[in-house]
């Protein structure tokens, strides 16, 4: 329990850390809203194609395409669906490019080895 209080103390003590944490939380909130919207659109387009999937499958497809895994087990048959897949894919790549530089240990304060 001492570890948790020290982490909370560190986060609340530094203004920069609080700002970065706030930005990260907003990023994840926007990402969750976007995944939900894409899942709703997935269901709408699948309805137009005459197919039905569960809500879990909609989220599964969205996350699979956004992370560029693309297993290929669920595919669209119409041009609208394929265009939608491209939009989801490009959005996922864009959001990964935003998140990847935030990995731990990539900060400017790191000492260089000689």
Domain locations in the chain? 27-102
Note the pLDDT tens digit of each residue in 54-111: 999 999 999 999 988 888 899 999 999 999 999 999 999 998 888 777 656 555 544 4
Can you give the pLDDT at residue 2?
72
What is this structure's pTM?
0.76
Q: Is 62:39 a contact under the CB 8 Å cutoff?
A: yes
Residues whose CB falls within 8 Å of the CB of residue 48, separated by 6 or more in sequence, listed in order: 78, 80
Q: For residue 95, what are its two tokens?
A: 């959001």
Can you tell me the distance from the alpha carbon of 40 to that of 90, in angstroms, rounded to the nearest whole number? Answer: 18
CB-CB neighbours of 84 under 10 Å: 18
Can you give the pLDDT at residue 103?
59
Can you give the pLDDT at residue 107?
55
DSSP E strands in the chain: the ranges are none
Can you give the pLDDT at residue 108?
52
Angle, vertex CA 20, rays to CA 106 and CA 29, nearest 5? 110
Note the pLDDT tens digit of each residue in 11-53: 778 788 888 888 888 989 999 999 999 999 999 999 999 999 9
CATH hierarchy code of domain 27-102: 1.10.287.70
């Amino acid at each position: 329990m001492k570890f948790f209080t020290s982490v909370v103390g560190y986060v609340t003590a530094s203004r920069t850390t609080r700002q970065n944490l706030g930005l990260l939380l907003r990023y994840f909130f926007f990402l969750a809203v976007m995944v939900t919207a894409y899942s709703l659109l997935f269901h709408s387009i699948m309805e137009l194609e005459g197919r039905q999937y569960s809500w879990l499958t909609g989220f599964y497809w969205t996350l699979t395409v956004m992370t560029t895994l693309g297993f290929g087990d669920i595919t669209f048959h119409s041009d609208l669906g394929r265009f939608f897949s491209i939009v989801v894919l490009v959005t996922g790549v864009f959001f990964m490019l935003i998140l990847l530089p935030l990995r731990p240990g990539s900060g400017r304060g790191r000492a260089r080895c000689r």
